[in-house]
Structure 1
Amino acid sequence: MPDANIIEQIRASSRLMVRELGFMNSTLAATQYSPSAVHSLLEIDSRQAVTAAQLVQVLGLEKSSVSRMLSKLIQAGELQEVPSPQDARVKQLQLTEQGKDSVAKINHYATQQVIHALEQLSDAQQHTVARGIAAYAQALKTCRDGEPQPDSRPFTLHRGYLPGMIGRIAEMHASYYSRHYHFGHFFESKVATGVAEFSARLQQPCNGIWLVLRAGRIVGSVAIDGEDLGNNEAHLRWFILDDGCRGSGIGRELLSEALAFCDRQGFSAVQLWTFSGLDAARRLYESFGFTLTQEWQGEQWGSAMLEQQFTRRHPSSER
């Protein structure tokens, strides 16, 4: 049984957060929509397309309540129903262009809310808050779901090499990008070769790799290469999560660990290369201070894409 004082502290803090985040109001995040509608838009955005039944499970609400709320969002022009690519009889929900604009405004509002609160805390306190909220939120979800299943066990972070890491990171990249962007063997080979070469340099203090583990299985990764760019700049590489990890907060925790390492190492900047269309990842990068610095048409991933470079500069290096 947890300590009674801890229980009361968490209850009091939870009530305060509910009030300060605006959940006592009839609308949320400077929109005209209820909290459940706002959360629905965000969940549909993060998953690209979901069914109403899947949304019922995610939100933990009654089917009838979700159905009425979704009907209102469709009538308002925020959502549209489209046939599932796998089964045309199944209808999926997607954001309209209006819905995408609404989600962008919600994300901006929420990001600024978090930034203003974190500015009141030290760097160490910020990391403590991020880890604590993620762990507590996952614990609450586990209670709602019942007995933990293999795919809902707590995540752990591991820094450094693990046997099978190279193949697993390549597998996660290949599986995700082949499904969504039709990348093939060229891309998988490029990832595997790069991770293998980098692994031989992990003994250098300017390099690091962090792995997300669940039940002993690698389900996420990110690396910081402090050597390949030179000029006292770090290269953020191989940031990936299994589908089952998305929305859990572990991606933010993973990225937070890697960037805290960069700040301790004193890198003047952190660079990453990606391509247009990975909107959820872009929002996460931007929340950590990355900005888009270059865009160009290229084929380094094996297909013609609008490639992008994002840069996060160390505060002490900014003029």
Structure 2
Amino acid sequence: MTDSPLQATVRPIRDASRRLVRELGFMKPTLAGTEFSASAVHALIEIGARDYLTSGELSDILNLEKSSVSRMVRKLVDAGELVESVSETDSRIKPLSLTGKGRETLAAIDAFAQEQVVAALNNLSPNIHKTVRDGLALYADALEASRTGSMSSAMRPVTIETGYRPGVIGRAAEMHARFYANTVGFGQFFESKVASGLAEFAGRLDRSSNQLWTAIEDGNIVGTVVIDGEDLGTGCAHLRWFIVEDGRRGGGLGRRLLDEAISFCDQQEFAEIQLWTFKGLDAARRLYETFGFVLDEEWPGQQWGSEVTEQRFVRRIRDVGRRMQTAGLK
């Protein structure tokens, strides 16, 4: 029986999760070079990050039974790592804080973990450090959301906004530079071309045939796309600077951005839309084709600093209409 797409993803994630548990030392009775269990080490980290916590708050954060946390806290107090005080406003509340010894232990834990993570990252290309960081954060957040019934950060509303906004030129250039450095080896020249080209275009946004869309999550730009209605001549739109942040692809955000851009072109009654890309970006190609783009030509080129096969895709309104009629959709 062939696995479903979901099962094909679940298995490698489970495998990676088991390996993480083993490589980080969670199978051992003690953790991070200390004499303490994993739960005790995490308790010291969380209390140190907040200055103080009650046992009840610690239980919620660590997702442990209150009785288990109570026993663990007592051991840490007896070991001189924690001190329990009484709230001045409510004698029932007993905040826990680190002692001097506890702060020394926490510093050693942080140094151990820092060395562990740095050693791992040194085995990876710097271009994918952010992908690892964001992917782990999103997965951990999704696990927590599944347990608590809350909303994962990956599911927070992303709005699509039009027009210039502060930071969009630099942010779009950064997302392009990171993605294309990792996929095809482009460098400074490519990033500079993106930044200068988008900066020039931004000065023409006051013209009705031009538009810029940004995907915004929590105030941050996580995707862009542009329609330049001038640089290819009358009746032809140029789809440019289409990018979605690393870790956000595959969730429908790119489709939302393209939908806005294509709808704008249809409203403006452009006869065709053209875009330039590179061979090998198969996911992007499939997305373009669902919007009626077809490969028009391709050729080898080195203008971006390394040799790639450049491609030009075209969406002609008459061809789209003909395909819809053939499919019985119009």
Q: Provide TM-score, normalisation by structure 2.
A: 0.55
Say if 2:234 is the partner of 1:265. no
In structure 1, the residue matched to 2:22 is none
Contact 2:275 2:312 in 1 (8 A): yes
What do residues 119-142 of structure 1 show as CA deviations (whole Å, max 9, x unaligned)?
xxxxxxxxxxxxxxxxxxxxx999
Q: Which of 29, 33, 38 is the matching residue for 2:2?
A: 33
From 49, 52, 73, the counterpart of 2:13: 52
**CA-CA distance at 1:85 after TM superposition:** 11
Determine the structure 1 residue equivalent to 2:216.
213
2:159 paired residue number = 156
Indicate yes or no: 2:143 matched with 1:182: no
Change (3 A) 1:145 1:273: farther
1:53 to 1:159, Cα distance in 2 relative to 1, 3 A: same
Aligned counterpart in structure 1 of residue 245 of structure 2, from 225, 242, 264: 242
**C-alpha RMSD of matched pairs (Å):** 3.0
Q: CA deviation at 1:51?
A: 4.0
CA contact (8 A) 1:222 1:238 kept: yes
Which residue matches 2:279?
276
Give the deviation of 1:144 after TM superposition.
3.0
Aligned to 1:303: 306
Distance 1:316 1:151, change over 3 A: closer
Deviations along 1:67-125, whole A, 9 cap, x unmatched?
A: xxxxxxxxxxxxxxxxx9947xxxxxxxxxxxxxxxxxxxxxxxxxxxxxxxxxxxxxx
Q: Structure 1 278/317 Cα, relative in aligned 2: closer, same or farther at 3 Å?
A: closer
Query: In the alignment, is the contact (CA less than 8 A) between 1:151 and 1:244 conserved in 2?
Result: no
- Seen in structure 2, the aligned counterparts of structure 1 residues 186 and 145 have a Cα distance that, compared at 3 Å, is farther
Match of 1:108 in 2: none
- Aligned in 2, Cα 1:317/1:153: closer, same or farther, shift over 3 Å? closer
Please, which runs of 5 or more residues in structure 2 have no aligned partner?
Answer: 19-120, 125-141, 323-330
Letter in 2 for 1:144: S
Kindly indicate whether residue 318 of structure 2 is the aligned counterpart of residue 315 of structure 1: yes
AA matched with 2:6 = H
Structure 1 residues 278, 201: CA separation in 2 closer, same or farther (over 3 Å shift)?
A: same
Listed one character per residue, the Cα deviations across residues 143-181 of structure 1 (whole Å, up to 9, x for unaligned) are 537434555422111111001110010011111111222
- Kept in 1, the 8 Å contact 2:292–2:320? The answer is no
Structure 1's unaligned 5+ residue stretches are: 1-31, 45-49, 58-83, 88-139
In structure 2, the residue corresponding to 1:243 is in which secondary structure? coil
Counterparts of 1:46-125 in structure 2 under 5 Å? 51-53=12-14, 86=123
CA distance in 1, matches of 2:17, 2:274: 39
Tell me the matched-pair count. Answer: 202
Partner Cα separation in structure 2 for residue 152 and residue 244 of structure 1: 13
The CA distance in 2 between the partners of 1:175 and 1:152, in whole Å, is 24
Matching residue's letter, 1:33: T
Larger Rg: 2
Contact kept, 8 Å, 2:184 with 2:308, in 1: the verdict is no
Q: Name the CA distance, whole Å, in 2 between partners of 1:225 and 1:166.
A: 15
Task: Check if 1:144 corresponds to 2:146.
Answer: yes
Q: 2:270 corresponds to which letter in structure 1?
A: F
Structure 2 CA distance for aligned equivalents of residues 168 and 302 of structure 1: 21
User: In the TM superposition, what is the alpha-carbon distance from 1:186 to its structure 2 partner?
Assistant: 0.2
**Aligned AA for 2:260?**
E
- Name the CA distance, whole Å, in 1 between partners of 2:12 and 2:146: 21
With normalisation by structure 1, the TM-score equals: 0.57
Alpha-carbon distance between aligned partners in 1 of 2:157 and 2:234, rounded to the nearest angstrom: 38
Pairing 1:18-29 to 2, within 5 Å after superposition: none
State the shift of 1:299 in Å: 1.8
Q: Are the structure 2 counterparts of residues 142 and 233 from structure 1 closer, same or farther at C-alpha, using a change threshold of 3 Å?
A: farther
Q: CA 1:34 to 1:51, structure 2 compared with 1: closer, same or farther past 3 Å?
A: closer
- Secondary structure, in 3 states, of the residue corresponding to 2:172? helix
Rate the CA distance shift 1:149–1:143 in 2: closer, same or farther, 3 A: closer
Query: Following the alignment from structure 2 to structure 1, what is the Cα–Cα distance between the partners of residues 17 and 261?
Result: 34
Cross-structure match for 1:21? none
Does the aligned pair in 2 maintain the 1:142–1:152 contact within 8 Å? Answer: no
Partners of 1:268 and 1:317 within 8 A in 2: no
